[in-house]
């Protein structure tokens, strides 16, 4: 079997051409552009057999990231397993937003809640080496993946097992970020995500259960002036802004991803002076 035949086999199975090229490029350790110019390159028999098996798994809906065991996020190659959600390009936007607010953060302590593969925490650690990063996850298996990634990439993150803020009693942060599960139970997209952990995807009947928990716990764990930035579903912006406001956060805003879908909402704790100003305003009018 050569490269062209492997790509033809992929097409026959209904596997996306780009996925098939990624798979071949992974096994041959060559860029995709090389494949195009070398479609008569013969594949060693064992490689051809492995690729045939993996194309069949891809055709059955297994994410390519699980098949090859890795996915790139913010320029970092992360190991992934079915214990963690596959990092999505949309989530890079949350990292960009975090980098944007960091210069004004009241402290260089940052927490990534529900870190999964460690994607967000590690991306921040790689861009801002002086940050003190903490990452939590309820899943021990997910934390093992995240710890492995931190070790391999040589990035320092303190990991803590537990649900959302639970393992962080008494700790206050200068910034908090999370890409929690936010898909509603019974959502029409879930069958397409069946190979990923349900615990990383779904959150109650409206998909907002975990976002509510995170918003409610924020004031006890954010320093004055600290931002909380959350990823969510395209129709959840108003609900998330409302829950942040109800928790006492200000400057709440929602941002769209590159596809134009509302994707992230943030708010920050009032700064100390700001809280006093608000009290004065209330008094003046009251």
Which positions lie near ligand GLN, rule CB under 6 A? 85, 88, 179, 181-183, 189, 193, 201, 231
Structure tokens at 18: 């780009």
| Rounded least distance, CB 181 to ligand GLN, Å | 4
| Rounded least distance, CB 88 to ligand GLN, Å | 5
| Phi and psi torsions of 263, nearest 5° | -135, -30
| Rounded least distance, CB 58 to ligand GLN, Å | 17
- 76 or 113: CB nearest ligand GLN: 113
Q: How many CA atoms lie within 13 A of 172 on its CB side?
A: 11
DSSP 3-state of 78:
strand
CB 182 within 8 A of CB 199: no
- 115 or 134: CB nearest ligand GLN: 115
Sign of CA dihedral 122, 167, 266, 142: positive
Closest CA to 3 of 66, 70, 23: 23
- 24 or 229: CB nearest ligand GLN: 229
DSSP 3-state of 133:
strand
| Rounded least distance, CB 164 to ligand GLN, Å | 13
Tally helices (H) and strands (E) across the chain: 11, 9
- 201 or 264: CB nearest ligand GLN: 201
How far is 250 from 233, CA to CA, in rounded Å?
A: 21
| Rounded least distance, CB 116 to ligand GLN, Å | 9
- 6 or 210: CB nearest ligand GLN: 210
């Amino acid at each position: 079997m050569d490269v062209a035949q492997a790509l033809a086999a992929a097409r026959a199975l209904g596997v996306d051409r780009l996925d098939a090229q990624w798979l071949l490029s992974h096994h041959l350790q060559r860029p995709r552009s090389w494949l195009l110019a070398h479609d008569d390159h013969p594949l060693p028999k064992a490689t051809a057999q492995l690729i045939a098996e993996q194309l069949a798994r891809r055709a059955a809906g297994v994410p390519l990231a699980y098949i090859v065991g890795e996915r790139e996020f913010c320029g970092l190659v992360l190991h992934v397993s079915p214990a963690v959600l596959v990092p999505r390009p949309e989530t890079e936007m949350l990292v960009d937003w975090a980098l944007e607010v960091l210069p004004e953060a009241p402290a260089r302590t940052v927490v990534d809640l529900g870190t999964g593969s460690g994607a967000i925490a590690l991306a921040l650690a790689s861009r801002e080496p002086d940050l003190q990063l903490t990452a939590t996850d309820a899943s021990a298996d997910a934390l093992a993946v995240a710890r492995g990634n931190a070790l391999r990439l040589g990035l320092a993150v303190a990991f803590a097992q537990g649900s959302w803020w639970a393992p962080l009693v008494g700790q206050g942060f200068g910034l908090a970020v999370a890409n929690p599960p936010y898909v509603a139970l019974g959502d029409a997209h879930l069958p397409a995500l069946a190979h990923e952990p349900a615990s990383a995807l779904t959150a109650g009947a409206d998909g907002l259960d975990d976002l509510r928990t995170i918003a409610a716990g924020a004031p006890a764990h954010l320093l004055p002036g600290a931002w909380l930035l959350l990823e969510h579903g395209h129709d959840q912006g108003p609900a998330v802004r409302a829950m942040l406001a109800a928790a006492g956060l200000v400057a709440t805003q929602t941002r769209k991803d590159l596809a134009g879908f509302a994707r992230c909402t943030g708010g920050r704790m009032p700064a100390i002076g700001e809280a006093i100003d608000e009290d004065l305003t209330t008094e003046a009018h009251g």
